[in-house]
Amino acid sequence: MKLFDSHCHLDDEKFNVDREILIDSLFKEGIEKLITAGYSLEGSKKAIEIANNYPRNICNLWNIT
């Protein structure tokens, strides 16, 4: 089964310490794609940055293709 998280906030500052570890663990657990969204303008910019680092697996509301 393919899993897709249609709404998450990977930009949240509580993930600053281990964001990459969290993302990698999601992929290992079977989540293949994610959409991340920011709470604010700065958060949205961070969400775009995160999505750009994982272009095959993470999108944000500004770069869904």
Instruction: Give me the tens of pLDDT residue by residue for the chain, a chain 65 residues long.
Output: 788 998 999 999 999 999 999 999 999 999 999 999 998 989 989 999 999 999 889 987 665 55
Identify the pLDDT of residue 60. Answer: 78
What's this model's pTM, rounded to 2 decimal places?
0.83
CA distances for 25 relative to 18, 22, 39, angstroms: 11, 5, 23
3 secondary structure, DSSP code: E
pLDDT at 63: 58
